[in-house]
Structure 1
Amino acid sequence: MTPTIPRSDIDLWSEEVIQAPYAAYRELRDLGPAVWLERYQVYAVTRYDDVYEALHDHDAFASGAGVALNERLNQKMKGSALVSDPPYHDHVRGVMGGPLTPKALRAHREDFQRLADDLIDRLLERGDFDAVVDFAQLFPLSVVPDLLGWPTEGRENFLAWASAGFNALGPMNERAEADIPVLAGMWAFMAEIVQPGRLRAGSWGDDLVAAAQAGTVSKQLLPALIGDYLVPSLDTTVSSLTSAMLLLGRHPEQWRAVREDPALIPNALNEVIRLETPIRALARTVTRDRELSGTVLPAGSRALIVYASANRDERHWDEPETFDVTRANANTHVGFGHGIHGCVGQGLARLEGHALLTALAEKVETIDVGQPEYRVHNTIRAITTLPATLKAST
């Protein structure tokens, strides 16, 4: 006999839960492998093993009908790498993924490290600073626009566009509605910027335009594909970098371990992403009756894949609430997704994070942080402001 799927009135998009979500995630995990959220007509999948399994079965948990919890954005994003299924997904991801391969990204390593060193030197001279604006936002904004070949115009809107794009991935609540005009402005600008000659020759964006001119991808989809480069490269990275500063500042013994053994830097970044996962959740469409840990999700339903819950699941992690840069399985987190829809830009995010943590480890003895202020956002675990002070190594 198939078990009855439990129901919950937890509102994952209430202001209270967004700002302090982890108790709600634990309650949902304890209820079962999948929980029906009546308010949003979606099954929440919150346990690690079930999330991992769903992410690796892209046939049963499809993305082509959309990953947002509202049809307005799902329709707008159709044909992007995020909102597509094989074989088209494999094709378009292959076109976009060239500059994001490990080999291609290695060519930027020295430049990124130089920029990171310069930034930390400036912050040490400055004394007090905001870890969001002066650190986590500043670094991606200093590298991503140039990689895309973006002209000077429009750069001032990048952060607002990225925030709006992720906000609209949730339900069409008042937060998403408020950002629709921002997205409309972004889409209009994207349609103009993908005209031949607008993006710097040889840049990632220009190469994508050239592929459309050659017929490799549809010209009509260019704005969405450029958005696939731009939007995920900012808010998620900003979230991770801010969380890194917060966690390393709050846990000086962990920061000491990183300074004493910089080889821990990749693992430390993984642990940050596990504990404070940037993207809370994205949706999938269940294409056939699909069993998860004895519970059957019916064909035609929607499943919310809650990455941030999976990354704290007691069934997978020892002491999941503890920040431990030496955690042996930190690299098994699903903070970048997994399977064929794993974040195409995660290599870029890692390159940025590793460069900054390397500069910090070489130059900074102590990190002092104040009280963070969290942003109420539908999709991103985001801090609005975080006072910080760095003390130079002697």
Structure 2
Amino acid sequence: MAPSRPAAEAPSLDIDPYSMPVLLNPYPFQEALRDRAPVVRLTAHGVYATGRHAEALEILGDPGRFSSSGGVGIQDIRKPGNHRIPNRLNEVDPPAHTALRGVLSRLMSPIKIRGWREGFDAVAGQLIDELRDADGVDGVRDIAETYVLRAFSGAVGIDLPRDNTMAISNMRFNQVGPDNETLRESVRRAGPHLEWFQGLTQRDAVQPGSIGELLYDCEDRGEITPGTAANMLLTFVGGGTDSTITSLSHTLHLLARNPDQWARLRADSGLARVAVEEAIRLESPFQMIYRTTLGETELSGTRLPRDAKIGVFLGAANRDPRKFDAPDRYDLSRETAGIHVGFGHGIHMCLGQMLARHEADVILTALSRAFERMELAGTPVYRPVNQMRQLSSLPLRLH
């Protein structure tokens, strides 16, 4: 038997994924990351990274080698100077993660989510009436943000004013990146809303029958540790709003750019979920997520030292030609649910994905029934965010 080949050192890639040009146009970086090697070392930040689908699945699916306890961002939150309160669901490993996820999965069961659908339908119907009278529409502000903030606030049981919510969410998704000007600007914008944010999840602020009240009830019974309810509700502010708003905005953009796919959706409203899944694959709202090695390990023939941060670049993996045919094409005949990594993978796969799918299904179905055509009415504008690929403006014309 031939001796096994020793693991190689990761080659370097001298592109900063957090630079403004890359944040606004990530595709050349994504291609360079995939083509350079299965695993590279990003010299700008001294961390490792992969942009390939197979390696993404291996990292996200093996918490015994690749831990979440160092934080899902580029900084190792266990180290002095980087410490912050971890997310009690996404930045912990088993068994603590297993117990909490079990409780949350019960609270957000398919039956409970289907029970909220009547409220989603009512919000969508009201919004469609408003859009019929509009001369011009911003797909981000007038459709995605308006619909999601109205629908989600009722389910989670928290009042979510637009300016407060978007400023805080933007800051939090920038905080998982490096200390750059993008982060500092978002902190400045969020400053006036921090007091509101601190009081947002107090027990007396949540609505009866909501996720918030159910979480506090679990805390009272000792099913989750004190402080977990507030921690989870703060997570829902971003995870349940920004991510869904972003995926819906991308879906509207892609449908407007591809009238043949809009026609397919109008002919078969059952394709609404396919439309959003394909948009999440092609324009992944979360562009990267990090893990930390628990010991020295090997990945695709590359040596990784202990306590190394490795970024899984989800946006690049979801356009990996090794996995997807014609990966840059938006195609409603492509079935990608459970295959793309836009919702993550493994034990930390997005807990709210079913809720997000229901919300998107309702509004896309309503739009496709109400409007024969949807087209771009101007140039879309992107918002630079360290962790996300996010539209800030999407001029549309609805017919």
| TM-score after normalising by structure 1 | 0.93
Residue 357 of structure 1 aligns with an amino acid whose one-letter code is: L
What is the distance in 1 between the residues matched to 2:109 and 2:298? 34
When structure 1 is superposed on structure 2, of 110-119 and 370-379 the one drifting more is 110-119
- 1:335 to 2:338 alignment: no
When structure 1 is superposed on structure 2, of 353-362 and 213-222 the one drifting more is 213-222
1:264-322 alpha-carbon deviations (Å, 9 max, x no partner): 22211110100000000011101122322222322210110110000000100000011
Unaligned 5+ segments in structure 1 are none
What is the distance in 2 between the residues matched to 1:174 and 1:133? 25
What is the distance in 2 between the residues matched to 1:181 and 1:209? 32
1:228-247 equivalences in 2 (<5 Å)? 228-247=235-254
The answer as to whether partners of 2:136 and 2:397 remain within 8 angstroms in 1 is: yes
- Aligned residue number for residue 320 of structure 1: 327
- 1:122 to 2:122 alignment: no
- Aligned residue number for residue 101 of structure 1: 109
- Deviation (angstroms), 1:189: 4.5
SS, match of residue 290 in structure 2? strand
- Deviation (angstroms), 1:194: 4.1
Equivalent in 143, 160, 165 of residue 158 of structure 1: 165
Unaligned 5+ segments in structure 2 are 1-5
- Aligned residue number for residue 10 of structure 1: 15
- Aligned residue number for residue 65 of structure 2: 60
Residue 289 of structure 1 aligns with an amino acid whose one-letter code is: E
When structure 1 is superposed on structure 2, of 174-183 and 205-214 the one drifting more is 174-183
The answer as to whether partners of 1:63 and 1:84 remain within 8 angstroms in 2 is: yes
Give the 3 Å change call, closer, same or farther, for CA 198–119 of structure 1 in structure 2: closer
When structure 1 is superposed on structure 2, of 295-304 and 31-40 the one drifting more is 295-304
- Deviation (angstroms), 1:329: 3.8
- 1:30 to 2:38 alignment: no
- Aligned residue number for residue 75 of structure 2: 70
- Deviation (angstroms), 1:220: 3.5
Residue 39 of structure 1 aligns with an amino acid whose one-letter code is: A
What is the distance in 2 between the residues matched to 1:246 and 1:194? 33
What is the distance in 2 between the residues matched to 1:84 and 1:101? 22
- Aligned residue number for residue 261 of structure 1: 268
The answer as to whether partners of 2:164 and 2:190 remain within 8 angstroms in 1 is: no
| TM-score after normalising by structure 2 | 0.92
Residue 295 of structure 1 aligns with an amino acid whose one-letter code is: T
Equivalent in 168, 177, 194 of residue 170 of structure 1: 177
- Deviation (angstroms), 1:197: 2.8
- Aligned residue number for residue 384 of structure 1: 392
- Aligned residue number for residue 212 of structure 2: 205
When structure 1 is superposed on structure 2, of 292-301 and 219-228 the one drifting more is 219-228
1:339-358 equivalences in 2 (<5 Å)? 339-358=346-365
Identity %: 34
What is the distance in 2 between the residues matched to 1:385 and 1:10? 27
SS, match of residue 341 in structure 2? coil
What is the distance in 2 between the residues matched to 1:5 and 1:71? 20
1:224-268 alpha-carbon deviations (Å, 9 max, x no partner): 221122211111111111111111011001111111122222211
- 1:112 to 2:153 alignment: no
